[in-house]
Structure 1
Amino acid sequence: MTVKNKKLLAVAASVTFAAQGAFAQTGGGTTGINAATSSLTSYVDPVSTLCLAIGAVVGIIGGVRVYIKWNSGDQDINKEIMGWGGSCLFLVLVSVVIKAFFGV
């Protein structure tokens, strides 16, 4: 075996053993994933509460607008009621779905 072949064999062996050492590390990123999961689930309750608060504000604004239209004699308030009521219902359901999705 020549010197060139010995050097090539030594480099190949060292690269192989270095790669095995890198693959042998424990954890595999699970600690990072667990930290991200716990951080994300800590935001679920505030976001759900924020959705409910926004839904309450939208409901109050919608109720006032429907009341004003109704008192002014507008006969076509059904579309207005459905629009504002649907948006409030959507925001309430989003807060429930967020909690159910993350299991909180």
Structure 2
Amino acid sequence: MLFVMALATGIRAYAAGNGLSGINEATSMVTSYFDPGTKLIYAIGAVVGLIGGIKVYSKWSSGDPDTSKTAASWFGACIFLIVAATILRSFFL
């Protein structure tokens, strides 16, 4: 009986060691994607900013009275992308 209990304890300790190394490996794999992901989000923010600038300029040139609302919405979208990427990076790393 004592032998069976010792064997079960050894198996549990071995399984916990493999699980811990698997979790550590998964964590390192996930954190390795944050730098390229952050750069991708910054690039998307730059493209959105350029598109928004063109749209605002075209509305402003045509004399549309809704220009300030459009500029605020595009600018807010760019700021959101940059802040979201920074907060996610600081939260998870």
After TM superposition, the score normalised by the length of structure 1 is 0.77
Identify the match of residue 20 of structure 2 among 30, 35, 41. Answer: 30
Number of residues of Structure 1 aligned to a counterpart in Structure 2: 91
1:6-48 deviation digits (Å, cap 9, x = unpaired)? xxxxxxx4xx545334223251511001001110110000000
Residue in 1 that maps onto 2:68: 78
> Quick one: distance in 2 between partners of 1:89 and 1:39?
28
> Quick one: distance in 2 between partners of 1:20 and 1:41?
33
> Quick one: distance in 2 between partners of 1:52 and 1:46?
10
Q: Bigger CA drift: 17-26 or 66-75? A: 17-26
Higher helix share: 2
- Whichever of the two has the greater Rg, that structure is 1
Three-state SS of the structure 2 residue aligned to 1:27 is helix
Matched AA of 2:91: F
Residue in 1 that maps onto 2:8: 19
Unpaired segments of 5 or more residues in structure 2? none
> Quick one: distance in 1 between partners of 2:22 and 2:50?
43
Name segments (4+ residues, structure 1) moved above 4 Å. Answer: none
Residue in 2 that maps onto 1:46: 36
Quote the sequence identity (%): 48
> Quick one: distance in 2 between partners of 1:91 and 1:34?
29
Q: 1:98 to 1:72 in 2, by over 3 A?
A: same
> Quick one: distance in 1 between partners of 2:51 and 2:75?
11
Kindly report the root-mean-square deviation, in angstroms, between the aligned alpha carbons of the 2 structures: 2.0
